Structure 1
């Protein structure tokens, strides 16, 4: 049994097709087929049922594949440990980032990391908070940039910065000409939210003081996934939004209003599993993110962290995973 054979059966499980798995593993299809046959003969168990379409693992095959995934993660951890001990910034890093932050931070972050870690190959994946938490635990990603605290005891969180929320208003809103935003009586039914799976919704519900007993279903008029879409809806006079400060970097100040102190913020952290070993790279990423932030986010200010990880919307989202 070899590490390469374990990689082959994991690829077959993911692709459920010999030709595609061979392409992923960069081997010929006959070569992959022979290696699978050799492994099955060695252990005396059929890992895949070849009579089913698509290719399907057997009951025992599922257990073997899960163990193979664990072994491969541990092999990667050994490699990462050696690289870290040698203080080398090289290799591959699979980075996840929440969708409400990615469009605004990643362009700044990439340029900074090109300078401090030019030999690291970053694979960047955008996703929901719940999905990123799952991917960290399974090893599908190495690091996530996301809102915290997650409340997950298997994850380690390294806080990088606090991102304020601002109100995004059109000129017809009662607070449009004020210096600061305060919740108005009619705002709860005008608040625009993203798709239910976003922890972003849970954050907004806490900011606005909405409870599970409130008639929040009225606010889920639009099934959308983009802060930029929310902003366009506001400009079209279809409601108002509360959005993270980084999403307003290139916006006119006339469209958004800050909250009075204590300002509601979300805590943004680098999150890893408890087995993550690339400590030097994590330090460099932390520094790179901080250095690329606008000065307004580095200043001290009176803030209040919002609650979200115990929200029914977030709990409902992760329960589907």
Structure 2
């Protein structure tokens, strides 16, 4: 068994096509096929079902591929160790970003980090919370920018800032003219949620003190969206109200949203890495770039009430149905 063979099966799993995988691996298709056959014969087990179109791993093959990814990640860690020892900010890093933060911070971050680490290459991937955690644990991404704490002992969390939540209200909302937003019993049935962002929903439900979100559009519509901007447009259309992160308000007027009184409910945003990640200098430069990208309002010493999500019953109930 060789590292090259492990790279081949990972590429085959990603592309599900011999020709595409061979092209990515810079090898001929017959060469890749022979190496796969040699590996399967050595292990005494089929890794891929060649009768399926597109190509599909066997049940045993799925576990082998997961272990191959972890092995290759550990090998990359050795290479990164050498780079880290020299404090050399070069190479490629894959950064996964929570989808409720990415559109509002990443453009500014990319400009700021370019000056701090000009020789680094960044691959940016937008994901939901569950995908980010799994990707960091398996080595599919190097760093995640997300809400914490995660509750996973194998992850290391480097807090960067606290982002307040604000209420985004339609024109007819009774709290529209108040100085601050205070949750009223009648509001809870009109709260709009992002269907696939379980940690975000758990935070909102905890802020509002309710057990479940409701679809105020009734039985006629069942929405399945993951964009804060779409959520805000639904509010503008008079379909309810939303609680959104402050960074998403850059293009909105103060009339469209209301802040909470102190202590303001907020989410903790951190850079999250696996426990074998050693590129401390890179993390420091990324933290500096993120901090420089924030508006001054998020740098002020306000009193925050951090809303956790990983131990919320709303989050646990949501993800338990996925297993």
- TM-score normalized by the length of structure 1: 0.91
Name the CA distance, whole Å, in 1 between partners of 2:251 and 2:59.
54
| CA deviation map 1:41-73 (0-9, x unaligned) | 5x3635445652244445665554444323211
Question: Which range moved further: 303-312 or 268-277?
Answer: 303-312
Name the CA distance, whole Å, in 2 between partners of 1:59 and 1:186.
50
Matches within 5 A, 1:139-158: 139-158=139-158
Q: Residue 232 and residue 59 in structure 1: after superposition, are their counterparts in 2 closer, same or farther (change >3 A)? A: closer
1:9 maps to which residue? 9
Shift of 1:219: 5.0
1:170 maps to which residue? 170
* Structure 2 SS opposite 1:125: strand
Matches within 5 A, 1:182-221: 182-211=182-211, 216-219=213-216
2:52 maps to which residue? 53
Name the CA distance, whole Å, in 2 between partners of 1:209 and 1:67.
41
| CA deviation map 1:244-270 (0-9, x unaligned) | 000002211111111111100000000
Shift of 1:200: 1.1
1:84 maps to which residue? 84
Contact 1:175 1:181 in 2 (8 A): yes
How many positions carry a matched residue from both structures?
Answer: 317
1:238 maps to which residue? 239
Question: Which range moved further: 240-249 or 110-119?
Answer: 110-119
2:293 maps to which residue? 292
Shift of 1:38: 4.2
Counterpart check, 1:266 vs 2:272: no
Give the RMSD, CA atoms, in angstroms.
2.1
Contact 1:46 1:58 in 2 (8 A): no
2:279 maps to which residue? 278
Name the CA distance, whole Å, in 2 between partners of 1:303 and 1:62.
44
Shift of 1:313: 3.3
Question: Which range moved further: 232-241 or 31-40?
Answer: 31-40
Q: Residue 81 and residue 172 in structure 1: after superposition, are their counterparts in 2 closer, same or farther (change >3 A)? A: same
Contact 1:197 1:317 in 2 (8 A): no
* Structure 2 SS opposite 1:271: strand
1:160 maps to which residue? 160
Q: Residue 81 and residue 233 in structure 1: after superposition, are their counterparts in 2 closer, same or farther (change >3 A)? A: same
- For structure 1, the 5+ residue unaligned runs are none
Q: Residue 219 and residue 157 in structure 1: after superposition, are their counterparts in 2 closer, same or farther (change >3 A)? A: farther
Counterpart check, 1:303 vs 2:310: no
Q: Residue 64 and residue 200 in structure 1: after superposition, are their counterparts in 2 closer, same or farther (change >3 A)? A: closer
Question: Which range moved further: 303-312 or 150-159?
Answer: 303-312
Contact 2:235 2:241 in 1 (8 A): yes
* Structure 2 SS opposite 1:254: helix
1:94 maps to which residue? 94
Counterpart check, 1:70 vs 2:75: no
Contact 2:149 2:157 in 1 (8 A): yes
Contact 1:167 1:258 in 2 (8 A): yes
| CA deviation map 1:122-178 (0-9, x unaligned) | 111111101111111111111100001111111111110000011111222111112
Name the CA distance, whole Å, in 2 between partners of 1:302 and 1:44.
58
- TM-score normalized by the length of structure 2: 0.91
| 4+ long deviations beyond 6 Å | none
Question: Which range moved further: 19-28 or 276-285?
Answer: 19-28
Shift of 1:89: 0.8
Contact 1:47 1:64 in 2 (8 A): no
Q: Residue 40 and residue 190 in structure 1: after superposition, are their counterparts in 2 closer, same or farther (change >3 A)? A: closer
